[in-house]
Amino acid sequence: MIFIGIDLAWTPHKETGICVLSQSGEVLTLCADSYSIEDIIRIITSYHPPLSIGIDASLIVKNETGAREAERLLMKTKIHGYRQYAFIANRHFLKNTYGEIRGEILLYALKEAYPDLTLHLSKTKTHVIETFPTSITCGLFPEYFPFRYKQKRHVSFNQFIQGLQTLCDCLLSQKGPYTLYGCNSLKNIDWTNLTRHTKKHIEDQLDALLCAYGLYTLFHDLSTPLLCGVPEDGAIVIPIKENKNTLDQ
């Protein structure tokens, strides 16, 4: 099984992060650039199936307004005691703001490339799931959560950098069956000399890595899936490293 994580940009003019992991946890690809849907499919299909694909984007959006059931369920759930927050997706907002629903277009292209593609986790078949990096950090690394590596009004640029570095160090320091290999580009970052652009470039790559790594832990039974919603109607899957009282709804 090959694990592919995609931090899909809302438009082709923004950077999309892509990460590819081998079944043994080796980082085969880690990049971020302004990719078209065709570019993304070209990268994915260069790897031999079966593939486990995790995408940070709304893949199925049936509701014209309001929130999907997937977001409602995720936001009702506490993971390791932490309340979760999710982007509210509906057709009206996405089309009016971005002109298209890019996750939907990517899912259609994946179905064209893989006619037997399933929306359910599988250890033998090529599949695709929607996931959410911030909740992945909570599910897999609760002892460090929240990382605060996303740009928000109440978080300073230095806090962004500190959160991003903590997340990067956390991923690189995993041991035993959780170990990641070949992350050379992440080991050589000069954290004292980042601009907002280079910070966002690293963030996009780490989000893609989280999407792929979450699937890696699920495949190897190092985590259990939290499924929010029905896959055929739009669902979000979050890997949870189990502790007592992990989930509270």
Residue 152, pLDDT score: 77
The residues with which 92 forms a beta bridge, in sequence order, are none
Instruction: For residue 48, give the DSSP letter.
Output: P
- Provide, rounded to the nearest whole percent, the portion of the chain with pLDDT above 90: 86
| For residues 5-29, average pLDDT | 97
User: Does the pLDDT at position 240 exceed 80?
Assistant: yes
Per-residue model confidence (pLDDT) at position 248: 45
Residue 5 in contact with residue 211, Cβ under 8 Å? Answer: yes
* Model confidence band, residue 190 (pLDDT cutoffs 50, 70, 90): very high
For residue 71, name the pLDDT band (cuts at 50, 70, 90). very high
Tell me which of 159 and 227 has the higher pLDDT.
227
Paired residues of 122 in beta bridges: none
Q: What is the pLDDT of residue 184?
A: 87
Helix (H) or strand (E) holding 134: helix 133-140
User: What pLDDT shows up at residue 243?
Assistant: 65
Summarised one tens digit per residue, pLDDT across range 201-223 is 999 999 999 999 999 999 999 99
Structure-block tokens of residue 151: 């740009």
Q: Which residue type occupies 182?
A: G
Give me the chain's average pLDDT, please.
94
Name the pTM for this structure. Answer: 0.95
Q: Are 167 and 149 in contact (CB under 8 A)?
A: yes
> Domain segments of the chain: what residues?
2-248
Please, where are the H alpha helices in the chain? 37-44, 69-76, 91-98, 102-113, 133-140, 157-172, 184-187, 196-219
Handedness of CA 74, 77, 78, 83 (dihedral sign): positive
**Residues 7, 207 contacting (CB under 8 angstroms):** yes
Q: Residue 20 is encoded by which pair of tokens?
A: 């590819």
Half-sphere exposure for 222 (CA within 13 Å, toward CB): 16
CA–CA separation, 36 and 235 (whole Å): 24
Residue 158 pLDDT greater than 60, yes or no: yes
228-242 mean pLDDT: 96
Q: Which of 196, 249, 230 is nearest to 79 (CA)?
A: 249
